[in-house]
Chain A
Amino acid sequence: MTVTSTINKAVRRVPGWVLYIVGAAYAGWLFFLGLTGGLGVEPIEALEHAYGDVALKLIIAGLAVTPLRQWVGINLISWRRALGVTAFFFVLAHFLVWAVLDVQRLSAIWADILERPYVTIGMAGFLTLIPLAVTSNNWSVRKLGPIRWRKLHKLVYPAAVLGALHYVWLVKGLQFEPLIYLAITILLLATRFWPQRRRATA
């Protein structure tokens, strides 16, 4: 109780927009590292992976908000929009590095999307997130009404699974790290289907 309420108090003191600044600064820092040799001798691949990695982590963090509140009592709801929107910007950065710096040619970008399944599902995940990013503002919530808005934003569930699968599929061989991301994603989604329970605090 004391731990969770301390966390909750601390969270309340930090507004969500701080995450935008931290996210933008980190993305810029990674790009700067890539420019100056800090990401090793193959910065394009390193930057692409770094952005994708942050994006997936933020999506997972966003998915964790509800279970954390329901099951543990930690309330990060005031950060959820910022988590989601920042995640989207990292997905966008990941996509741009891939398309512009890595693949480079429009025809090759198309071919990759059509012919390589891990690119196809990554792309599908990206497209799925666009309507969510566009409607992540109070005006859209009012315009759509909370029920429709919430329904629309459940699209983050398939997007998260697509993102995690994209990672599992793109690595060579049976690697643990992407499987862990996929497992956590599925676990967090599964909690949505467990019987609702108020947290058992005294």
Chain B
Amino acid sequence: MARRYTSKLTYDDVTPEHLFLNRRQIMAGAGGLLGAGLIGGAEPARAQGALEPNSWEEITTYNNYYEFGTGKSDPADNAHTLTTSPWAVEIDGLVDNPGTYSMEDILSEVEIEERIYRFRCVEAWSMVVPWNGFELADLLNRVGVQDGARYVAFETALRPDEMPGVRVPVLDWPYREGLRLDEAMHPLTMMATGIYGRDIPNQNGAPMRLVVPWKYGFKSIKSIVRITLTEDEPPTSWNMANASEYGFYSNVNPNVPHRRWSQDSEREIGGGLFARRQPTLMFNGYEEEVASLYEGMDLNANF
């Protein structure tokens, strides 16, 4: 691990969940008394520059996971049908050790750590999520990436019996995503297996999902069953559905507007009916860490 990402945030920065939930209730109560305009008053944490994680409820009930329906609460309602154990991931393509790896096998060779990341959806909402997981680079190094590989392709499970949403051709199933190899190997890029120290819920992509915090959420593919190292840029689902709106790179970029959602501001989930929009940060706030990946690239063309 040449340059592991070291979070500036520690577990001390995570509000313990029971306190956090408690505080929310107190805030809601105070807001009711003092007028709704004050609900957005959760400023102290932000003022200190720390990320305040969203609540478990917010993170697990507001999801895009179209395999379980297109509504935001559909995944939480429907994803319980997904069988996540046993689970295996096929790793193939330009790797030294292709094969089918069980979850147990994958987890036995990695170190699970907590990363508190901003999560930004292309629909212009955002959350802060305390993920548990491991660096994707650890897994890729273990299987041995061959010299010719330049991209990593991912696939989500496709199980019509367990995923009611795939009976409708909203997208060309299975869901596919991909990264350039250097993006995939970046220390920020992780495979998440948990949230708040608990197993990751099905609606959030159990048992293992990608997290690429400087990109729009749809790049962070859920419930991965296949990882393929390729020489060519792999096809990706939203790009296949609508290439003019969903580019391959999809970096969070306030200067490149999307056809449907202006990207210069975002709404933080959990602020209630009168939440103020917040300005969107370049690369979702990870500019320092990832800007070098795109040096010399026209991000308007490679959006």
Q: Do A and B come from one complex?
A: yes
Give chain A's interface residues, CB within 8 Å of chain B: 31, 34-35, 37, 40-47, 101-102, 104-105, 108, 111-112, 115-118, 170-176
Given A101-B274, A104-B277, A108-B265, the answer on whether A173 and B66 have CB atoms closer than 8 Å is yes
C-alpha gap A172/B241 in the complex (Å): 9
Task: State which of A43, A108, A115, A175 has its C-beta within 8 Å of the C-beta of B70.
Answer: A175
Whether A41 lies near B273 (C-beta < 8 A) is no
Whether A42 lies near B70 (C-beta < 8 A) is no
- A-facing mask of B30-73, CB < 8 A → 1, else 0? 00000010000000000000000000011001100010001011
Q: Please give 19 more A-B residue pairs, beta carbons under 8 A apart, in addition to A102-B267, A174-B168.
A: A31-B273, A35-B273, A42-B62, A42-B267, A43-B272, A43-B273, A45-B125, A46-B72, A104-B276, A108-B264, A111-B262, A115-B257, A116-B260, A117-B259, A118-B260, A173-B66, A173-B241, A173-B242, A176-B168
Whether B70 lies near A171 (C-beta < 8 A) is yes
Interface of A is mostly: helix
Whole-angstrom distance between the Cβ of B118 and the nearest chain A Cβ: 16
Whether B73 lies near A40 (C-beta < 8 A) is yes
Whether A41 lies near B270 (C-beta < 8 A) is yes
Give chain B's interface residues, CB within 8 Å of chain A: 28, 36, 57-58, 61-62, 66, 70, 72-73, 125, 168-171, 238, 241-242, 257, 259-260, 262, 264-265, 267, 269-270, 272-277
Chain A's closest residue to B58 (CB) is A41
Number of A-B contacts (CB under 8 A): 69
C-alpha gap A118/B170 in the complex (Å): 19
Listed A/B pairs (10) with beta-carbon separation below 8 Å: A41-B57, A41-B61, A41-B270, A42-B267, A43-B272, A47-B273, A101-B274, A104-B277, A117-B259, A175-B170
C-alpha gap A116/B245 in the complex (Å): 12
Whether A174 lies near B273 (C-beta < 8 A) is no
The residues of B that contact A171 with a CB separation of less than 8 Å are 70
Task: State which of B36, B259, B260, B275 has its C-beta within 8 Å of the C-beta of A44.
Answer: B275
Whether B276 lies near A44 (C-beta < 8 A) is no
C-alpha gap A168/B70 in the complex (Å): 13
Chain A's closest residue to B28 (CB) is A37
C-alpha gap A17/B171 in the complex (Å): 44
Whole-angstrom distance between the Cβ of A187 and the nearest chain B Cβ: 21
Whether A41 lies near B171 (C-beta < 8 A) is no
The residues of B that contact A112 with a CB separation of less than 8 Å are 262
The residues of B that contact A175 with a CB separation of less than 8 Å are 70, 168, 170
Whether A108 lies near B273 (C-beta < 8 A) is no
The residues of A that contact B270 with a CB separation of less than 8 Å are 41
Whether A116 lies near B265 (C-beta < 8 A) is no
Given A116-B259, A118-B260, the answer on whether A44 and B62 have CB atoms closer than 8 Å is no
Whether B269 lies near A42 (C-beta < 8 A) is yes
Whole-angstrom distance between the Cβ of A202 and the nearest chain B Cβ: 43
C-alpha gap A108/B149 in the complex (Å): 43
Whole-angstrom distance between the Cβ of A132 and the nearest chain B Cβ: 28
C-alpha gap A35/B169 in the complex (Å): 35
Whether A42 lies near B72 (C-beta < 8 A) is yes
The residues of B that contact A102 with a CB separation of less than 8 Å are 267
C-alpha gap A44/B238 in the complex (Å): 25
The residues of A that contact B170 with a CB separation of less than 8 Å are 172-175
Whether B272 lies near A40 (C-beta < 8 A) is no
C-alpha gap A176/B164 in the complex (Å): 14
C-alpha gap A170/B61 in the complex (Å): 22
Whole-angstrom distance between the Cβ of A148 and the nearest chain B Cβ: 39
C-alpha gap A171/B71 in the complex (Å): 10
The residues of A that contact B238 with a CB separation of less than 8 Å are 172
Whether A40 lies near B61 (C-beta < 8 A) is yes
The residues of A that contact B169 with a CB separation of less than 8 Å are 174
The residues of A that contact B241 with a CB separation of less than 8 Å are 173-174
The residues of B that contact A41 with a CB separation of less than 8 Å are 57-58, 61-62, 269-270
C-alpha gap A42/B124 in the complex (Å): 12
The residues of B that contact A46 with a CB separation of less than 8 Å are 72
